[in-house]
Structure 1
Amino acid sequence: MTRSQSELARNWKLVLTCTSGVALGAMSIPTYTIGAFVKPLQDAFGWSRTEIQAAILVSQLGVGIGAVACGWLLRMVSMRAMAITGILGISAGLGMAALSNGSLTWFYAAYGVAALVGCGSGPVVWCRAVTLRFSKQRGLALAIALIGTGIAGLILPPLTVAVVGHAGWQTGYIVLAALPLLIALPAAAIHLKHLPKDNADTDASAPGTGGMTLPQALASYRFWLILASVVILYLSLAGIVPNLLPALVDKGLAPQQAALAQSSFAAMLIVGRLGLGFFLDRFWAPAVALFTLLPAAVGCVVLSGAPGPWMAAVAAGLVGLASGAELDLLAYLTARYFGRAHFARIYGMLYFGVAAAAGAGPVAFAAVYETPGGEQTSFLIAAVFFVLGAVSLPFLGRYPAEDPARH
């Protein structure tokens, strides 16, 4: 068995644990399910779409703050403890949402609890666990772990629509709160127990794991270029994901047809993420990203019109391919350009910007959508952002010193 094969063979349980944690963590559940609650909450309490989507702003800002905190807390507590606490937190927040009863303040607080207390279920812990154990197949391992977002997008929207349609929005939140406890929590408790605390000194002494400190990374133009590019991309992606289903219904599609388009988005997210992981281990990452992200702009142009069911599914799939790239790119570029010794802190800082964009995206998209002609303009703005984010990445230049583990 070769070294590249042995990495996955030795650590496949860890990777699948990270996949379940990503799928049922603070990054995925709020974003992929809130679209199913928009109409019911509007009908029940008279809230506007923008007011409801603002919960994602609260959630993602909380996840961003939590990502920075995780980067420091992992020096003091184990990844297993962080993950278990985070999974309990996301479940508690979703359970609180079921008790909103017309109070927007309570509704936002519930999403805040899910994000802040649930920060250990966010991407810093899962990506750090993968980068700690993988070197030569890092891109593929990250891709497999992060397809959790695609699995969440594929399963959770139709599941939530079905539960809410048959049993009401409160039951929908209760079911969502139970899923992390039943699936992600046992996996994390079993398969993360042998991972050490995050230790930069130990990491730096291992082959291929050195790199910049956080101050050094902050002084690098590459840090700010990666941040700007991924923020622009995430403004588009985060704006589209929770708004896609209600927007397509507004454009004349039946809820089931709109759910099919969102499922197409999630299915292609998985394809894009695995494909990206395969190519990242073989080719220069900014070039791979360019050819992955630009088709999403075409998909947004199609969605700006009034596509039929199948055309909407194809267009959503093109956007899904790009969605499969964003978190993989952030984690991969962080490790390749800054090294792994201080990965958690640097990645946490970068992810804060991404989380802020992820929170602002749905609100901004919904606000533009509700203006005259906004059903077209919102998607066209997203198309422009995809182009800008994609073409900026090649300016990162060559990787720094090649990872010795790759030779």
Structure 2
Amino acid sequence: MKQYILFLRNNWPLLAFGFTSIFWGNFGQSFFVSWYGASIQESLGLSAAAYGSLYSGGTLGSALTIIAIGGLIDKWPLQRFTAIVACGLMLACVLMMVSAHALTLLIAFYLLRLCGQGLLPHTAQTTMARYFDADRGKALSLSSSGVPVGEVVLPLVAVALIAGIGWRGSWLVFAASVPLLYLPLSLWLLRRSPQIQQPNTPASRAGTEKAQGRREMLGDYRFWLALPAVLTPPFLVTGVFIQQGFILNQKGWDPLWLASCFIVYGIAHWLAALLAGVLIDLFSARKLLPFMLTPLVLALLSLVYLDGNWVAPLFMCLLGTTIGIAGPLTGALWAEVYGTEKLGSIRSLMTAFMVLSTAVSPILFGALIDRGASLQSLFGTSALCAVLASVVVIFSYPRQTLPG
């Protein structure tokens, strides 16, 4: 903890920028948008299938767009890139407020997922990985804390605003918070950050290997060995959350009991991220990568083989630990292996892969459940796939360095 306190004291402006960017990005995360699903469907007269299709369409569109524009963070001044993304998030919130038919809602979802789920976290984590070298793990962990804090705080804010001024009025508040709070705060923090004024810091030359871009990464066989392990956490955790009704039915858990266990998930997420940051700085992300999926395998096995209400908090704790570790570890991995010169381009491609994986898993899990898959077969197979991904990743980056 002393390491974090000293690190925070010396670098608080840039770290605060990363945290606030990810916190505001929560407006585009599924856990937040889900609180509005019933109200939107009722107001617009949408079926559950139509609503889900619009949400998936916006998500897939945002993933493709991130590939095209995410690399601009490597070319534009950080302040300009941040301001444009913030304006996009504000527009998304306004469109959510005024949506009266499916097309407007589709555009709102597209911008919300693009700027919220995608580009704001992309901006924060690219900045952390680029401007911190020896302390990259701690920087990524501290900034990613904006997600668990949002998971605890924002649903309460949303529920209170919906009760007080309605669901449309709440989106007006969120839209106003961007130009009134986030944008001036983030630009002020960047002006106070000495790292931004020193583009030739050691972190800009980070990595023991020559700086590489997307083309070199996609042509590197080791990337394809690591990719299954990198995508497994968002893929499986999203599938689990979306199909939690199936899990409740199979395990006999009360919905309120599982909902209360999300507090355990959030705490585990935050603590695991902080621990991961220290371990990354001590050992490197490449050396830790083969162990990343261990908590996820244990979570899935507990779901398959253990029974009783006590399993729910254990299961959620292990899931939170998985996501807490995966975020900083994969964020640091690309900088270690390919350098930071073209990190924005690389991270935008990986963000697109991640978004696509979260769009596919609910459909796949739903189809398997509809075909009669049992909980044991579905999540037992998922655990086996996670084990295989952990084995394959052993032969990726820790094995050797790029030639030249």
* TM-score (normalizing by structure 1): 0.80
Rounded to whole Å, the distance in 1 between the matches of 2:315 and 2:32 is: 20
Rounded to whole Å, the distance in 2 between the matches of 1:75 and 1:232 is: 27
Rounded to whole Å, the distance in 2 between the matches of 1:385 and 1:47 is: 36
Q: Structure 1 vs Structure 2: percent identity of aligned residues?
A: 21
Could you say what secondary structure the match of 2:398 adopts?
coil
Could you say what secondary structure the match of 2:109 adopts?
helix
Residue 83 of structure 1 is matched in structure 2 by 82
CA contact (8 A) 1:35 1:245 kept: no
CA contact (8 A) 1:70 1:120 kept: no
> What are the superposed Cα offsets for residues 208-243 of structure 1, whole Å, 9 maximum, x if unpaired?
685224332222112223333322332112333455
Could you say what secondary structure the match of 2:296 adopts?
helix
* TM-score (normalizing by structure 2): 0.81
Residue 192 of structure 1 is matched in structure 2 by 190
Rounded to whole Å, the distance in 2 between the matches of 1:168 and 1:354 is: 33
Could you say what secondary structure the match of 1:239 adopts?
helix
Could you say what secondary structure the match of 2:98 adopts?
coil
Q: CA deviation at 1:186?
A: 2.8
Rounded to whole Å, the distance in 2 between the matches of 1:204 and 1:118 is: 26
- The structure-2 alpha-carbon separation of the partners of 1:97 and 1:249, relative to structure 1 and needing over 3 Å to count, comes to farther
Q: CA deviation at 1:144?
A: 0.9
Residue 57 of structure 1 is matched in structure 2 by 56
Q: CA deviation at 1:188?
A: 1.3
CA contact (8 A) 2:24 2:116 kept: no
Could you say what secondary structure the match of 1:135 adopts?
coil
CA contact (8 A) 1:143 1:273 kept: yes
Residue 170 of structure 1 is matched in structure 2 by 168
> What are the superposed Cα offsets for residues 71-103 of structure 1, whole Å, 9 maximum, x if unpaired?
4322442111211221222232133223334x3
- The structure-2 alpha-carbon separation of the partners of 1:348 and 1:366, relative to structure 1 and needing over 3 Å to count, comes to same
Map 1:351-366; keep pairs closer than 5 Å.
351-366=351-366
Residue 74 of structure 1 is matched in structure 2 by 73
Q: Which amino acid aligns with 1:122?
A: L
Could you say what secondary structure the match of 2:99 adopts?
coil
Question: Unpaired runs of 5+ in structure 2?
Answer: none
**Does residue 1:141 correspond to 2:150, yes or no?**
no
Residue 228 of structure 2 is matched in structure 1 by 228
Map 1:4-403; keep pairs closer than 5 Å.
8-25=8-25, 29-41=28-40, 47-101=46-100, 103-116=101-114, 121-164=119-162, 168-181=166-179, 183-193=181-191, 210-241=210-241, 244=244, 248=248, 256-286=256-286, 288-303=288-303, 310-368=310-368, 372=372, 379-380=379-380, 382-398=382-398
Q: CA deviation at 1:50?
A: 4.9
- The structure-2 alpha-carbon separation of the partners of 1:226 and 1:218, relative to structure 1 and needing over 3 Å to count, comes to same
Rounded to whole Å, the distance in 2 between the matches of 1:374 and 1:156 is: 34
Q: CA deviation at 1:322?
A: 0.7
Of stretches 366-375 and 231-240 in structure 1, the one that deviates more from structure 2 is 366-375
Rounded to whole Å, the distance in 2 between the matches of 1:330 and 1:277 is: 11
CA contact (8 A) 1:251 1:306 kept: no
- The structure-2 alpha-carbon separation of the partners of 1:292 and 1:165, relative to structure 1 and needing over 3 Å to count, comes to farther
Pairs aligned (count): 399
RMSD across aligned positions (CA): 4.0
Rounded to whole Å, the distance in 2 between the matches of 1:39 and 1:305 is: 34
Rounded to whole Å, the distance in 2 between the matches of 1:187 and 1:140 is: 22
CA contact (8 A) 2:209 2:401 kept: no
> What are the superposed Cα offsets for residues 275-297 of structure 1, whole Å, 9 maximum, x if unpaired?
11111112253553444422223
Of stretches 53-62 and 342-351 in structure 1, the one that deviates more from structure 2 is 53-62
Q: CA deviation at 1:266?
A: 2.0
Q: Which amino acid aligns with 1:30?
A: Q
Rounded to whole Å, the distance in 1 between the matches of 2:93 and 2:21 is: 16
Could you say what secondary structure the match of 1:77 adopts?
coil
Of stretches 48-57 and 182-191 in structure 1, the one that deviates more from structure 2 is 48-57
Q: CA deviation at 1:134?
A: 0.8
- The structure-2 alpha-carbon separation of the partners of 1:398 and 1:205, relative to structure 1 and needing over 3 Å to count, comes to closer
Q: CA deviation at 1:371?
A: 5.6
- The structure-2 alpha-carbon separation of the partners of 1:120 and 1:352, relative to structure 1 and needing over 3 Å to count, comes to closer
Q: CA deviation at 1:256?
A: 4.4
Q: CA deviation at 1:142?
A: 0.8
Rounded to whole Å, the distance in 1 between the matches of 2:175 and 2:247 is: 26
CA contact (8 A) 2:205 2:340 kept: no
Q: Which amino acid aligns with 2:266?
A: A
- The structure-2 alpha-carbon separation of the partners of 1:250 and 1:57, relative to structure 1 and needing over 3 Å to count, comes to farther
Structure with a larger share of its residues in helix: 2
Rounded to whole Å, the distance in 2 between the matches of 1:323 and 1:368 is: 24
- The structure-2 alpha-carbon separation of the partners of 1:208 and 1:92, relative to structure 1 and needing over 3 Å to count, comes to same
> What are the superposed Cα offsets for residues 29-52 of structure 1, whole Å, 9 maximum, x if unpaired?
332213323444455566454543
Rounded to whole Å, the distance in 1 between the matches of 2:285 and 2:202 is: 27
CA contact (8 A) 1:68 1:352 kept: yes
Q: CA deviation at 1:131?
A: 2.2
- The structure-2 alpha-carbon separation of the partners of 1:330 and 1:336, relative to structure 1 and needing over 3 Å to count, comes to same
CA contact (8 A) 1:23 1:152 kept: yes
Could you say what secondary structure the match of 1:122 adopts?
helix
CA contact (8 A) 2:141 2:277 kept: yes
Q: CA deviation at 1:262?
A: 2.3
Could you say what secondary structure the match of 2:283 adopts?
coil
> What are the superposed Cα offsets for residues 315-359 of structure 1, whole Å, 9 maximum, x if unpaired?
112111111123322221101111122212222222221221123
